[in-house]
Amino acid sequence: MAVLTTRVKAYVDLHTPRGFRQATLLCTVLMATSALFPLAGALGRRRPGASARTQRAALEPLGRWRPLAAWTVAVTFFTLVVVPMAALLLASVLGNVGHGVTWSNITLTHWRLVLGRPDVRLALANSSFLAAGAATLALAVGGLLAYVQVRATSRWRWVPGALASIPYATPGTVLAIGMILAFSGAWGP
């Protein structure tokens, strides 16, 4: 099954400038679509009493350090999120990355080429379907685990929560490689 991440890998595996440009374009599409989900969640209404009751740590006033802390967070966010996203977006519209950023080098040809391909459209549809399914499944399993954790009276009620925390303790690279091997068809069933 083709999804966007496997298309990115396929384009990178071409080892050509054209393949690299197409891969960066798809990375931009991935980041843009992933940014829509938090935005959609933020637009939803919140009802009083619909959230879990958790204890929050007491906030410590920063006093005179507040502007420095805010500036540090803003610079870090800009450096680690905005600059890489802008670089990917810019690389996806350049005709030739090595010729620099000039108006004559900016083109949407790569976008038309990549988004015009049926395999990429299928990968985009599959990625969207799998993302929605995974989010729904995660919500259902998480809700069930939370219910068991709060309502169960067994001394083993901590086990589901501990099992659910295993992915957080596993390095992301290990999970990514495992997912690629499991779902690429090369190693899986």
- How much is the average pLDDT of 41-67? 65
CA pair distance 30, 109, nearest whole angstrom:
19
pTM: 0.54
Q: Are 147 and 135 in contact (CB under 8 A)?
A: no
- β-partners of residue 94 are 106
Residue 94 predicted with pLDDT over 50:
yes
- Confidence class of residue 175 from pLDDT cuts 50, 70 and 90? low
- How much is the average pLDDT of 54-68? 81
- Confidence class of residue 149 from pLDDT cuts 50, 70 and 90? confident
Residue 130 predicted with pLDDT over 90:
yes
- Confidence class of residue 25 from pLDDT cuts 50, 70 and 90? confident
